[in-house]
Amino acid sequence: MAAGLRAVKRWGLVAAAPRLAFTRSASVVKKANNGQPSWLGVGMAFGTSAAVWAFLIKEHNEDVMEYEKRKQERRHKCTGCS
């Protein structure tokens, strides 16, 4: 039985721990080139910011209109209109 275990170890049939020598890093770091910005990225950043601000301003205006409408309805106490 002991001879069988020695043979298994010798032939590499036992699952071994992964070796770190064969691992690679997936990221590559480059020095930033500030002389030539990515104009597509700059345009997307500013465009997204402008779209978000337009959406927020539109939503704010709608909320203010709804507030004013409800405020007018609260003031109206006429019983004959109901």
Q: What b/e string do you get for 12-24 counting C-beta neighbours within 10 Å, with b at 16 or more?
A: eeeeeeeeeeeee
Helix or strand holding residue 35 (H, E): none
- Location of structure tokens 């997204």: 48
SS3 20: helix
Q: Tell me what pLDDT residue 31 has.
A: 82
Compute mean pLDDT per 10 residues along the chain, 82 residues long, and list them.
Answer: 63 56 69 86 97 98 97 79 60
Q: What is the pLDDT of residues 42-60, one digit of tens each?
A: 999 999 999 999 999 999 9
